[in-house]
């Protein structure tokens, strides 16, 4: 039996779950809160059931200190951000991305800022750190707030400072496919007392999940503890996709973070940096091995950052090659999934003209992107196999074009 490797995952052992349960029974939720405060060096820290709920609560809070209504987000990002913005009574405004950094195009942010701009919400996409110093300089000149989206970059640092800590307020996600996971969950951090008091009120009003929801969370954590390991993942491969969200959401539910998850979070966070280091090593290996290869683009890395790669992104010059390599890599037993096939403005009607694409880089990016797993269950041998598949496939494609130029 060929063992399968999941596309994303964080090892959660059964001892971790048991220890987390004991912590949750004997200590309050603020144990994990204290750990996050120490890590981020922030005064205020709050938990929610998801990163999207965290973003939504932040937006509701900053509405209390400004009458402006526009929120700038990348044109290629998690589509649920749009739902949170609209649910908060605000308007999403998109900014194109850079094909060099794979993050929001900082040079074009000024194009999208108006008198009614409330905040910029930059994201560290795939764990790749965006230049926060440049973002903050723009925001300060225009008196804008910065809501830092670090949902995919927990562990990443810039100048030895964690992502999520540069803006007026930042947020993380503990979803099952993130760098650090308690199955679900979100975290908000800030030093601003004026924002924190509104966030605290909102978080305090979140309903507690019912008994059935708590049992469901517990059962899914045990299921993911099985699914995170190749033997069990292989045996139950037809069942594990049901644990993932695969459809475009129309809404989301907000409720309190459970003490059980907080206990697991506190237990796991003690070992988180071992996992972060593996993601870093795997991403840097892929960056080094794939650099300079014709036919693909890989991201330029921030010179003063240590990126903890959520996944490693590759852009194919020929968009038709993406599906080819997806199949070849999946056939080895390393399961990878396609990311969003469309940018935000092609998922939701935001009033943009789709015939004259206002965000061509985001469209180009979405049609050519393939994500390579960097999680701790991968290793250099498996990553080398992927590198070999990509190099050999691109060389064969180039040779075919040289032999049959009429097909170009």
pLDDT at 132: 98
Higher pLDDT, 21 or 262: 262
Instruction: Tell me which of 2-6, 29-33, 154-158, 293-297 is least confident.
Output: 2-6
How far apart are the C-alpha atoms of 261 and 103, rounded to whole Å? 31
Kindly report, residue by residue over 318-351, the tens digit of the pLDDT.
Answer: 999 999 999 999 999 998 877 888 999 999 999 9
Beta strands per DSSP E along 112-229: 117-120, 145-149, 157-158, 161-162, 169-173, 186-190
Q: 222's torsion region: left (phi>0), alpha (psi -120 to 50) or beta?
A: alpha
Q: Which domains does the chain have, with CATH numbers?
A: 14-204 (3.40.640.10), 272-407 (3.90.1150.10)
Q: What pLDDT sits at residue 387?
A: 97
Higher pLDDT, 30 or 120: 120
- Beta partners for residue 73, in sequence order: 94
**How confident is the model over 368-394, as pLDDT tens digits?**
999 999 999 899 999 999 999 999 999
Indicate which residue of 42, 60, 68, 178 is catalytic. Answer: 178
Which tokens sit at 317? 């010059």
pLDDT at 232 over 80: no
Q: Is 320 exposed, middle or buried (0-12, 13-18, 19+ CB in 10 A)?
A: exposed
pLDDT of 250 reads 80
Q: Kindly tell me if the per-residue pLDDT of 242 is higher than 60.
A: no
**Rounded percentage of the chain residues whose pLDDT exceeds 90:** 72
Question: What percent of the chain has a predicted confidence (pLDDT) above 70?
Answer: 88
What is the average pLDDT score of the chain?
Answer: 89
61 pLDDT higher than 60 = yes
Residue 20 in this model has a pLDDT that exceeds 80: no
Active site residue 385: no
Average pLDDT over residues 211-237: 73
pLDDT value at residue 408: 46
pLDDT at 400 over 70: no
Which pLDDT value is given to residue 230? 63
Mean pLDDT for 282-299 is: 97
* Separation CA 211–CA 283 (nearest Å): 40
| Most confident region among 208-222, 297-311, 337-351 by mean pLDDT | 297-311
Q: Exposed, middle or buried: residue 52 (CB in 10 Å: 0-12, 13-18, 19+)?
A: buried
Q: Residue 280 phi/psi, 5° resolution?
A: -60, -50
Q: What is the pLDDT of residues 196-209, one digit of tens each?
A: 999 999 999 999 99
pTM metric for this prediction: 0.92
Q: Is the four-CA dihedral 173, 176, 181, 184 of positive or negative sign? A: positive
pLDDT confidence bin for 162, thresholds 50/70/90? very high
Does 58 score more than 80 pLDDT? Answer: yes
Please give the pLDDT value at position 340: 85
């Amino acid at each position: 039996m060929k063992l399968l490797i999941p596309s994303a995952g964080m090892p959660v052992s059964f001892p971790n779950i048991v220890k987390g349960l004991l912590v949750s029974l004997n200590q309050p939720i603020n144990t994990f809160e204290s750990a996050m405060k120490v890590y981020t060096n922030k005064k205020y820290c709050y938990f929610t059931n998801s990163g999207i709920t965290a973003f939504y609560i932040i937006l509701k809070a900053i509405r209390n200190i400004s009458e402006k209504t526009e929120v700038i987000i990348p044109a290629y990002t998690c589509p649920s951000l749009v739902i949170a913005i609209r649910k908060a009574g605000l308007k999403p405004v998109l900014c194109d991305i850079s094909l060099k950094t794979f993050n929001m195009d900082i040079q074009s942010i000024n194009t999208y800022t108006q008198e009614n701009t409330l905040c910029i919400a930059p994201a560290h996409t795939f764990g790749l750190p965006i230049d926060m110093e440049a973002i903050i300089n723009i925001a300060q000149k225009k008196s804008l707030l910065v809501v830092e989206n670090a949902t995919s970059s927990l562990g990443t640092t810039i100048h030895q400072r964690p992502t999520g800590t540069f803006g007026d307020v930042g947020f993380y996600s503990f979803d099952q496919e993130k760098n650090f996971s308690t199955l679900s969950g979100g975290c908000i951090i800030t030093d601003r007392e004026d924002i924190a008091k509104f966030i605290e009120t909102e978080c305090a009003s979140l309903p507690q999940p019912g008994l059935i929801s708590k049992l469901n969370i517990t059962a899914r954590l045990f299921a993911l503890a099985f699914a995170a390991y190749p033997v069990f993942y292989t045996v139950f491969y037809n069942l594990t996709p049901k644990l993932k969200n695969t459809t475009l959401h129309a809404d989301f539910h907000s409720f309190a973070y459970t003490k059980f998850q907080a206990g697991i979070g506190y237990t796991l966070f003690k070992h988180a940096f071992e996992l972060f280091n593996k993601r870093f090593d795997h991403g840097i290996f892929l960056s080094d091995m794939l650099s300079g290869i014709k036919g693909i683009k890989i991201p330029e890395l921030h010179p003063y950052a240590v990126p903890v790669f959520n996944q490693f992104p590759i852009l194919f010059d020929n968009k038709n090659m993406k599906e080819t390599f997806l199949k070849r890599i999946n056939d080895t037993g390393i399961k990878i999934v396609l990311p969003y096939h469309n940018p935000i403005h092609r998922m939701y009607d935001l009033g943009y003209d789709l015939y004259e694409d206002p965000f061509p880089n985001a469209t180009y990016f979405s049609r050519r992107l393939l994500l390579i797993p960097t999680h701790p269950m991968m290793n250099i041998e498996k990553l080398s196999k992927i590198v070999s598949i990509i190099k050999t496939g691109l060389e064969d494609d180039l040779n075919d074009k040289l032999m049959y130029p009429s097909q170009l």
